[in-house]
């Protein structure tokens, strides 16, 4: 029997695989359209005038594109203690997120290295307690944290919010780095010790240069958690130190005057852009970093 005998069957099998592949692509495209539809509505609504929003269709491209809503959403027009735009609150979130991410990532790296490589008595217990702290609901720590911030004299301030996010993020960053560091071969550590390297020197010269994947994971995770936080922001801030999520809530729930849905949508997109850009730029590194520490530990 020659190969030509099987060619019709092979062609039929190839056609079946092609049809299955295209069917899968179509299904995935439909899911993508379904999940992207709210974003489409947000963007198009933010580019419409109020008159067009009232008289036009919800799911439709704007007849005339206008950026007035974006300018209003970003403006810094303040009356009394309340600002109409998100600009000052946006920069408050930047001032909170950047130090919070850097400090919690650095402390998580040190903690993960110590727990993974320094086999001291009680290391597993300490790690278990820190891991337990990751699953404590936010609402449980509100009252004791408010009291602690008051005792420290940083209640209602940006440093106070940084402190809160660092404390709550250390458990997660420690978990990331510990699970990553236990996968690093012990031969590297033994060779460094033979050369006379100290415990901290090994961390600085060997572990940190190998930590780029998990550092990216920690940065993305912490930045997303801090930027999108609302509960801590509304609980531990005051006028002038509120993050962008609190400002967005105030803008959307404002009942003064005519409801400007285009401004609400523009403000929501502005508030979401940083985390969206982070995931678009570094999303693939986030997945790589998560799987890099999943071999053992």
Same domain, 252 and 113: yes
pLDDT in tens, the chain (297 residues): 455 555 676 777 777 788 888 989 999 999 999 999 999 999 999 999 888 888 878 788 888 888 988 998 888 655 544 556 889 999 999 999 999 999 999 999 999 898 888 777 777 888 888 888 888 888 888 999 999 999 999 999 999 999 999 999 999 999 899 888 888 888 888 888 888 888 888 888 888 888 888 998 999 999 999 999 999 999 998 888 999 999 888 887 775 667 788 888 999 999 999 998 888 887 777 776 666 655 544
Same domain, 136 and 32: no
Same domain, 142 and 58: no
Same domain, 137 and 190: yes
Same domain, 59 and 84: no
Same domain, 62 and 92: no
Give the N- to C-terminal CA distance of the chain in Å, as an integer.
Answer: 54
Whose CA is closest to 243, among 161, 150, 148?
161
Domain extent, residue 22, equals 3-66
Q: Is residue 71 part of a domain?
A: no
Interatomic CA distance for residues 69 and 275, integer angstroms: 21
Same domain, 129 and 259: yes
CB atoms within 10 A of CB 1: 5
Number of domains in the chain: 2
Q: Is residue 235 part of a domain?
A: yes
Q: What Cα–Cα distance (Å) separates residue 105 from each residue in 71, 125, 132, 148, 159?
A: 35, 21, 18, 23, 17
CB atoms within 10 A of CB 183: 15
| Residue at which a domain ends, from 45, 66, 87 | 66
Q: Is the pTM above the cut of 0.85?
A: no
Output DSSP code: residue 70.
H
Same domain, 40 and 16: yes
Same domain, 139 and 29: no
Strand partners of residue 82: 79
Same domain, 53 and 111: no
Angle at 133 between CA 129 and CA 135, to 5 degrees: 125
Spatial contact of 233 and 252, defined as CB atoms under 8 Å apart: no
Q: Is residue 263 part of a domain?
A: yes
| Residue at which a domain ends, from 44, 66, 88 | 66
Mark residue 257 as left, alpha or beta (left: phi above 0; alpha: psi -120 to 50; beta: remaining). left
For the chain, the residue count is: 297
Same domain, 188 and 260: yes
CATH code assigned at 179: 1.10.3720.10
């Amino acid at each position: 029997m020659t190969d030509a005998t099987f060619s019709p069957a092979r062609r039929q099998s190839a056609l079946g695989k092609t049809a299955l592949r295209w069917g899968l692509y179509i299904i995935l495209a439909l899911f993508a359209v379904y999940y992207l539809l709210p974003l489409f509505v947000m963007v198009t609504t933010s580019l419409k005038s109020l008159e067009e929003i009232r008289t036009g269709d919800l799911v439709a491209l704007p007849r005339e594109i206008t950026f007035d809503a974006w300018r209003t959403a970003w403006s810094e027009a303040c009356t009394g203690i309340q600002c109409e735009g998100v600009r000052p609150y946006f920069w408050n979130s930047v001032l909170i997120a950047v130090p919070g991410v850097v400090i919690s990532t650095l402390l998580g790296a040190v903690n993960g290295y110590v727990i993974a490589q320094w086999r001291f008595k009680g290391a597993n217990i300490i790690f278990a307690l820190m891991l337990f702290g990751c699953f404590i609901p936010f609402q449980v720590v509100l009252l004791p944290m408010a009291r602690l911030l008051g005792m420290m004299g940083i209640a209602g301030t940006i440093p106070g919010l940084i402190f809160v996010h660092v404390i709550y993020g250390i458990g997660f960053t420690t978990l990331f780095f510990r699970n990553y560091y236990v996968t690093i071969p012990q031969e590297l550590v033994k060779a460094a010790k033979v050369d006379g390297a100290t415990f901290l020197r090994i961390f600085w010269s060997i572990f940190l240069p190998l930590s780029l994947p998990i550092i990216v994971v920690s940065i993305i995770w912490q930045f997303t958690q801090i930027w999108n936080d609302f509960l801590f922001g509304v609980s531990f801030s005051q006028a002038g130190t509120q993050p962008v999520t609190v400002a967005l809530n105030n803008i959307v729930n404002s009942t003064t005057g005519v409801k400007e849905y285009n401004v609400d949508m523009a403000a929501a997109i502005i508030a979401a852009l940083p985390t969206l850009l982070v995931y678009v730029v570094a999303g693939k590194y986030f997945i790589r970093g998560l799987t890099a520490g999943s071999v053992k530990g």
